[in-house]
Structure formats: structure tokens, C-alpha cells
Amino acid sequence: MAKRKSIIKIKPRKYKVGDIVKVDFIVIHPMETGMRKDKKTGKIKPMHYINEVKFYFNDELFTTVLPWETVSTNPYFSINMKVTGPGVIKVVYKDNMGEVNEKTKKVKPKG
Amino acid sequence: MRRRSFLKGLSAVPALALLGNVQLLAEAKKAKPKSKNAISFKKALEVVTGGKGAKESDKVQLIVPEIAENGAVVPVKVNVDVPIEKVKSIHILTTKNSNARAADVFLTPRNGKAYFATRIKLSGTQNVVAVAVLKDGSAIMASKPVKVTIGGCG
């Protein structure tokens, strides 16, 4: 299982309980469409894309994103979330080659 | 005699070359790969809305650039002005990409607001369509054209 770089950002940085915040998730991934040729070898690069991203808050699934290969390289997904208290956001992402990775981020509302 | 055969030979060369060209062209057409997930826009819309079709509505706000210099990275933002309890999912579609679907997002009340943003690839100038499917089964959509100067898909 290759380890991929990913990042979760919460915007704005300061938030309170009850606020609706943006959760941005970015992952470094080639998102190959299966239609491009490798310039060196002339062979078609196999399709390789993320096909499932699940957002959990305190182990409760709240959003499922099913991207297709149409999504750009190094995909970026942004959704809204209502902060109900402190906890952990966990993002689990899978690609069509069976890679499964996850990333977590703590939620610390102030006030 | 020799001259004749020579001439014949000459005339045969371009003919052969032509044939070769035609074959090459045919091969090139075949070789142009089709995405495994290829689906037309019409079908994708049917799949997304369950065959009911979607109504155009102002409640779906789709924010895309009018002109995208690079088709490989086109930012797309969708806001749906409907209470989150009534929204089931948001779908982003394109009209001319070989796979018309870009992303399907399934929301729950914890989201607070129906919003989704991502970046997609566009193969050429076409429309980007955002469809919001509501809990009661109806679907609303918004569509906007994007002019692409350099394609990004294949």
C-alpha cells in the first residue's frame, strides 16, 4: 500500500460550536484517465483514479463522494460540515486499483 | 517492356501507399482509446435522476469560469439553496467528455449546507451541469458553458 500525501483543511481556522465550516480535502494522486499515452514508451497508461471518498465525524459517516476519472490530477474536494462539538474528522479514500488510505484531523471549536 | 513494367510499378507505389495510409488511419481510429467508464451525457442524466429528468432552477448555483485556459484544471463550485434535510445528492456532469460523470456527492444533514467544490478536466468547450437530487425524488439542475482553449482529457 503506497502511502499517499493528503491534507485536510478546515476553513475558517477559528470556529465555534454550531458554525458551518468548510472541510477541504486534497490528495496527491495521478488520476489517470486510461486514455493518455506515455510519451516515452508509446503505451497507454492504465486507468488509475480515486473512486470513493468517505468523510466521517467521530466515526459517523456524513458525506460520500464518488469521483470519476474526470476529476483533475491531485484532486480537491470541498464540502460543508456543521460543528457540533470537539471530535475527529476521518477521511477514507479508495482508488480503482484497490489502494485504501485514510487521514484524520482534530476538530477543536473555541467558545 | 521494361519501361512499361517500370511505369506500372510506379503507379502501384502511390496506390499501395494510399492503402497503407487508409489502414493506418483506421488503426489510429481504433487505437483512440475509449474510457471504460464511457457514458453519454443523456444516459448519465437518466442514471442520476432515475429516468425522470431534471428541471432547470435558480436554486442551484453553479460557479465555473467562462473561459478556462487549461482544460486539465477547471474549478467547479455548486451551492444548492434548499434546506439540507431535503437534499439527497449533488452530481456534476459534463456534456462532451467521454465519461460524462465527474462526481457524485451524497449528503446528510450534518453538512449544514448543500455545497460542493472540486476541480475537473474538460476535453473541450462544453457545458458543465450540476444536478441536485432532492429527497422527494425530483431533481433540479443548472448548466453553464465553459470555453476551453487547451483540452485536458486524453
Query: What are the tens digits of pLDDT across the range B100-115?
Result: 999 999 999 999 999 9
DSSP three-state, residue A5: coil
Binned at pLDDT 50, 70 and 90, residue A2 comes out as low
Q: With a threshold of 0.85, tell me whether the complex ipTM lies above it.
A: yes
Query: Which of B94, B111, B153 is closest, CB to CB, to A79?
Result: B111
Interchain CB distance below 8 Å, A80 and B112: yes
Ranges B5-14, B36-45, B57-66: which has the least confidence: B5-14
Interchain CB distance below 8 Å, B72 and A72: yes
Which amino acid is present at A85? G
Q: Which three cell numbers stand for residue A100?
A: 485504501
| B72 and B99 inside one domain | yes
**Residue B99: which region, alpha, beta or left (left: phi > 0; alpha: psi -120 to 50)?**
beta
| B66 and B27 inside one domain | no
Q: Give the per-residue pLDDT at B59.
A: 92
Residue of B91, B90, B96 lying closest to B148 (CA atoms):
B96
| B52 and B16 inside one domain | no
| B13 and B68 inside one domain | no
Nearest chain B residue to A36, by CA: B154
All structural domains of chain A with their residue ranges: 6-107
Q: What percent of chain A is predicted at pLDDT more than 70? A: 97
Query: Which of A66, A69, A82 is closest, CB to CB, to B112?
Result: A82
Domain A6-107 matching CATH 2.60.40.10: the answer reads: yes
Is the minimum CB–CB distance between A41 and chain B shorter than 8 Å?
no
pLDDT tens by residue, B71-125 = 889 999 999 999 999 999 999 999 988 889 999 999 999 999 999 999 999 988 9
Nearest chain B residue to A19, by CA: B112
Q: Give the per-residue pLDDT at B37.
A: 82
Binned at pLDDT 50, 70 and 90, residue B69 comes out as confident
Q: What percent of chain A is predicted at pLDDT more than 90? A: 68
Domain span including residue B5: 1-32
Cα B27–chain centre separation = 24
Count of domains observed in chain B: 2
Interchain CB distance below 8 Å, B118 and A20: no
Q: Which three cell numbers stand for residue A65?
A: 463522494
Binned at pLDDT 50, 70 and 90, residue A54 comes out as very high
